[in-house]
Structure formats: C-alpha cells, structure tokens
Amino acid sequence: MTTATRPVPGTDTSGPASPYQSYVYAYPHKTAYRKLPDRPRLDALWAAEPKDALSLYLHIPFCEVRCGFCNLFTRIGAPDGLTGAYLDALERQASAVREALGEREPVRFATAAFGGGTPTFLTAAELERLCDIAEHRMGADLRAVPLSVEASPATATADRLEVLAARGTTRLSLGVQSFDDTEARAAVRPQRRADVEAALARVRDAGIPVLNIDLIYGIDGQTERSWLRSLDAALAWHPEELYLYPLYIRPLTGLGRRAGGTDPAWDAQRLRLYRLGRDHLLAHGYEQQSMRMFRRADAPPQGADDYACQTDGMIGLGCGARSYTAALHYSFDYAVGMHEIRGIIDDYVSRPAADFAHAEYGRRIDADEARRRHLLQSLLQAEGLRTDDYRARFDGRTPADDFGAELSRFAARGWLAGDGTDSTLLRLTPEGLAHSDAIGPELFSPAVRAAMAAYERK
C-alpha cells in the first residue's frame, strides 16, 4: 500500500486520481502556516472578538508508543520531569492567554477538549492539574460543558478514568484501530485484543456518558471478514460513537518509509471497506455524521464534532495546539519528525510567561478563505450547508456565487445532490461523503495549496 498523490482540481469531471487525497480536519492546514514576523500580541488579536462561546483545547504531546501511521505532533515517552515541566509551561501560557482575553466582557467556554498525543499519558495527579489549569487559569467550567478526552488502551487506567469522570468528562475517545492483533502489528501499533477489551471495560465502569472507538480500514492483510470482526467487536460495547478512518501513509511516519506513488488497488480496497463499514453501522442503528463519524441514534447530544468549527473563537494551549480568531489562525512551530518535535517541546517548556503573550506562527484569514473554510467544513458534514446561513454570514452571497465551478463539478461527478446551485441546501450524496477526502482538498485556495506545497517537511 502506498500514499496518494494530490489532485489537480478542475481538470476533469470523472473525479481526481484518488479518493484519498487528505483528511481535512482543519483549514488551512498547519503546513500553510508561516512564522509571523510581527509576532502580534494576543490582547490585540482578541480585542474585538466575541468571547461568549469559545472552544478550549489543551494539547498533550506525549505517547507511550508512536503508531506507524501517526503524523501527529507527539513524542514517545518523556524523560523524568518533562511532563511536570510541560504542565508548568502550560500553566504559564494559560495565565498569559487569559490575561490577553481581557475583562471588558465575560469570557465563556462552550466546549473543551484534551487531545494529543495521548492526554492519558499523564498520571492521575497530572490529569488533575491539567483540569485545574483549564478551570482555574482559563475559567472553563468543565462540569458544565461538553469535555472530550482522547486516550489509548494502555493508558486508560482506572485511576486516570476516575479523575476524568469526576472532573466532568462527557466523552472518552479510545484509539483502538483494530481488534485483530495481526492487523495492529501491521499498523505498527503493538497491542493485544485482551488489553483493549479490558480498557473498554474500565471506560464503561467509569461511567463517562459517551464512548467513542476509533477504527482504521486499509491495513495490510485486512480483509472484509476481518474488518467486520473488528466492527462487531466494537459494537459489542455499544459505543455511542464510532469513527472509521482510512489508513494513510504519510511522509516521516513509521510506515512512510514504504510510501510510493498512487495505488489504485489500495484505493479500491479502502472504498470497499468504507462502504462495508458504513452499511454495517447504519444497519445497527447508527447515524452517519460525516465520512468518518457515526453516532448511535439514541446517544446523548455532544458538543462540536470534527467538522463543527465553522465559527471562530478557539483557544489552543500547548505547543501542538492551534487557535482561531476571525482574521488569524495561529500556533507554535509544526513538525512530524521526532527530532524536530523534541526540539519544539524543549523550547516550549523553557519559555517565560511573556513569550506566550504573542502569536508565533500562523496564517491570515481573508474573506475568501473564510468563505472556503465555512463551505468546506459544512459540506463535509452529512447534514450539509444551508445556503441561508451562508448568505447571513457572508453579506448576502451564495455558495454558487463564490464556488459555482467547484459545486457544478462535484454535482457532475454524482457527489452533490442536485446541480450544485440549490437555493436552500447543499448536501453531499452518499457517494460524495465517500469521497470527502478528495472534495476537501479541491476547495483549497491556490494560495493555501502553494504554501502547503512549499512547506519543508521536518
């Protein structure tokens, strides 16, 4: 299996070369960010921003192992004292950011999430401190808002889960990927099914309202039968949510050393497994929210899912987090290679509080990019985009006014219901949802595409 190549949007109506171009979980991607020469002050960036429904994200860049497919900003393990030093820096950053938000108007957080890396790499006591930073430094009421936390089977221990449940966690996302030990090894994810099942039992015992299980399709040696076995093993736990991810092989990852050109056979396998998994979950009472996300019909409501950040107002804390204002998306430096990641983390933990009062890396968001982001992230949800919402947000313009050529192209491919100019609702067809990872990149602006292509991987 090999990595996919990037399409050239608009060259034909039959579809791009591969349905698996890129997972668009945020736009623009961090590879389009650049160092900000003016290092703008956060108090100036946030002065005119609404602050009554912010999202809060705390990033923990540590994992016990690094899976072969992973290109997240994380390092393996932590030398003695590093997690404590990281939390010290996180606390300094939180204090600086909260001060920058000001006191002229109330600051309220509507959702919160701990991600990584693996937040549950931290000990139970360190997780208590992480929650204290969110609550006491930032002012987030974790027991009053949806709080989502990512975990791995090995780190989902009873004492950690007890802390998270007591502090208000409403959703625990467990990265299982496969219940087949052979497939897990092929993905360079050393784990045993027995340990996974034990972790799931602990999560259920903790009483966290929503359990999400992540699974991956397209692994070497995976068959339709083994994929169904993993799905059924997950369904036995009645998870409120399931995410089905296609395997990607990206540069600088463990599996990336095997990457080559486009592989049509692998594309066909992933599409076949996706459709099989989708239909299996729909038949078992799940509703499709996006290409990846499936929610049990009777699951309790949650906050933002993976495509729900059309509005700005996101505060990210930690060296791998990003923050959003209406005019600027910003973060710290980004890397995938382990040596570079370690250097960025070391730099982060050594920073004085004053350094956290500025934005360092980012990308300015003009009116065109704001429209693209809203269309892209809304269209990739199963419920689609209501054009009256678009008009209200963007001065009476319609999606067809701004992206008529792209929408017509998607409709011609059978990916978009109607002809792409519907006056009330733009919604992907089932086949369109299956091709979300091709649709997203086709909506990237030329400037963002050029910046991503020019990014020097590290």
Q: Which domains, and CATH codes, for the chain?
A: 32-296 (3.20.20.70), 367-454 (1.10.10.920)
The position carrying tokens 């049990």 is: 296
Cis peptide before 28 (omega within 30 of 0): yes
In tens, the pLDDT along 29-57 reads 999 999 999 999 999 999 999 999 999 99
- Average of per-residue pLDDT values in the chain: 89
Mean pLDDT of 185-201: 91
Q: H or E element: which one contains 324?
A: strand 322-324
| CA 141 distance to own-chain centroid | 23
Amino acid, single-letter form, for residue 354: A
User: How close are the terminal C-alpha atoms of the chain, in Å?
Assistant: 23
- Reduced to 3 states (helix: H, G, I; strand: E, B; else coil), residue 8 is coil
pLDDT (0 to 100) of residue 70: 59
Rg of the chain over CA atoms, in angstroms? 21
In tens, the pLDDT along 401-453 reads 999 999 999 999 999 997 767 678 999 999 999 999 999 999 999 999 999 99
Q: Is the pLDDT of residue 21 over 50?
A: yes
Q: Is the pLDDT of residue 343 over 50?
A: yes
The position carrying tokens 């949650």 is: 302
In tens, the pLDDT along 161-177 reads 999 999 999 999 999 99
In tens, the pLDDT along 244-253 reads 999 988 655 5
Report residue 151 as tokens: 């975990």
pLDDT above 90 coverage of the chain, percent = 76
Q: Is the pLDDT of residue 218 over 50?
A: yes
pLDDT (0 to 100) of residue 458: 78
Report residue 358 as tokens: 């500025």
Task: Name every residue whose Cβ is closer than 8 Å to that of residue 399 and which is 6 or more positions away in sequence.
Answer: 375, 385, 387, 390, 407, 426
Place 286 in a pLDDT band, splitting at 50, 70 and 90: very high
pLDDT (0 to 100) of residue 188: 72
Q: What does the DSSP 8-state code read for residue 300?
A: P
Place 307 in a pLDDT band, splitting at 50, 70 and 90: very low
The count of other CB atoms within 10 Å of the CB of residue 44 is 11
**HEC string for 175-187:** EEECCCHHHHHHC
Q: What does the DSSP 8-state code read for residue 53?
A: S
Task: Name every residue whose Cβ is closer than 8 Å to that of residue 207 and which is 6 or more positions away in sequence.
Answer: 165
Task: Name every residue whose Cβ is closer than 8 Å to that of residue 136 and which is 6 or more positions away in sequence.
Answer: none
* From 75-79, 121-125, 290-294, 450-454, the region with the lowest mean pLDDT: 75-79
pTM of the model: 0.92
DSSP β-bridge partners for residue 362: 34, 330
**Cα dihedral angle (47, 49, 54, 55), rounded to 10 degrees?**
-90
Pairing of strands 314-317, 54-60: parallel
Pairing of strands 322-324, 54-60: unpaired
Find out whether 349 and 88 touch, Cβ atoms under 8 Å: yes
Q: Is the pLDDT of residue 15 over 90?
A: no
